[in-house]
Structure 1
Amino acid sequence: MRKFLILLSLLVPFGALATIQIPDKFIADGTTHDIESTPLEDLFSHDQILLMLQRDGWCSANWRGYKAVWELSDGTLYLNSLVKNACDENPESVDPVHFFGESEFPIKATWVNSAIEVKTSEIRSVIRVLPNGDKEYVGYDYDAVVFEFSAGKLVQKLEKTIENRRY
């Protein structure tokens, strides 16, 4: 049996299945950006959010179960909308009373104590050449504008090169 499984693993190609995620949106200076940040998770854990959403289904492009629209206005971060099951043609709006005790959006995001990165360049692979001439992938870089928040207030906005290395 073991030999059969080894042979099968050599003959059957296996690939990584990955789905691009539906991003949150961030509006700053009148421009809407896709972001990978998850400011809602400064308030609730991922598991808490999933329980509170009471989702009907699941979609691989929206494993978080929701999509949020954030806006920076007069130095304060607001949550403008929150929908669940973002893969649906007409995603259902989340009741802000259930999540925040507020009757309607927008909601001041006073719980956010993190940064939102807005990519301003393509991702650049970083390769190093080994002494023997081989090339090795070590990570990637990209340029971004970073908005840093404390209690939902913008405390710093800076341009930065983000470096992500494997080691």
Structure 2
Amino acid sequence: MTAQFMENLVYEGVAMAMCTAPLSDFFALGGRAVRLKPRTNTALWRGYIGSWEVLDGRLYLVGISATMECGGKATLEHFFPGYPKRVFAHWFSAELRVPTGELRKYVHMGWASEYEDEMIVSLQRGVVTGVRMRSGQPVWLKSEPDARVDRS
């Protein structure tokens, strides 16, 4: 699999990129599927790029970049009728992985590349429950436990 385009995130007023696709969890739970134009780029298997914002400790979907199967531009209302500007991500209970340091090792697969530092934002039903910094290789790519202490 090709390395994937990142999602967009605004956190505390700062624009960042993230290696997490919270909208995928919505679809996995049976959320409204929208017929998007077939992908033409192997770096975008999911067919869209979401724009997200953490506001007052809550995660919101604030935009989507995708093309409808008919050729028109996809909007939030295609996925969430009645919500044209933002949608609270109440379906998302996981972590956002936000690279904050330099790329250390490019991996030509999904979001497996390694960064000097990462911000990990934990969420429960769309509400931020914790934020921590992690240095070095992502924990899920290691074979032994991470002995380092996270910075906070």
Question: Aligned residue for 1:107?
Answer: 87
* Aligned partner of residue 40 in structure 1, secondary structure: helix
From 7, 11, 24, the counterpart of 1:28 = 11
- Relative to structure 1, the CA distance from residue 53 to residue 84 in structure 2 (aligned partners, 3 Å threshold; closer, same or farther) is farther
Name the structure where strand makes up a greater proportion of residues: 1
User: 2:64 maps to which residue?
Assistant: 82
Aligned-partner Cα distance in 2 for 1:141–1:54: 31
Q: Which structure 1 residue ranges, 5 or more long, are not aligned?
A: 1-17, 86-90, 126-138
Residues 166, 58 of structure 1: CA spacing in aligned structure 2 closer, same or farther, 3 A cutoff?
farther
Q: Percent identity?
A: 23
Distance 1:48 1:69 in 2: 18
Alpha-carbon distance in 1 for matches of 2:80, 2:74: 14
Unmatched tracts of structure 2, length 5 or more: 106-112, 145-152
User: How large is the RMSD of aligned CA atoms in angstroms?
Assistant: 3.2
Q: Output the TM-score relative to the length of structure 2.
A: 0.70
Structure with larger Rg: 1
- TM value normalised by structure 1: 0.65
CA gap 1:119/1:103 in 2 versus in 1, 3 angstroms: closer
Change (3 A) 1:37 1:144: same
- Offset at residue 158 of structure 1 (A): 0.8
Structure number with higher relative contact order (C-alpha < 8 Å, ≥ 6 residues apart)? 2
Shift of 1:153: 0.5
In the alignment, which residue of structure 2 is the partner of 1:37? 20
Q: Which residue of 1 aligns with 2:74?
A: 93
Per-residue CA deviations over 1:101-158 (Å, capped at 9, x if unaligned) read: 3331211111111111111222445xxxxxxxxxxxxx95642111111111000011
Q: Tell me, yes or no, if structure 1 residue 147 matches structure 2 residue 121.
A: yes
- Using the TM superposition, give the Cα deviation of residue 25 of structure 1 relative to its aligned residue in structure 2, in angstroms: 0.2
**If each structure's helix is expressed as a fraction of its own residues, which one has the higher value?**
1
Provide the C-alpha distance between the structure 2 equivalents of 1:48 and 1:59, rounded to a whole number of angstroms.
24
Q: Distance in 1 between matches of 2:73 and 2:36?
A: 11
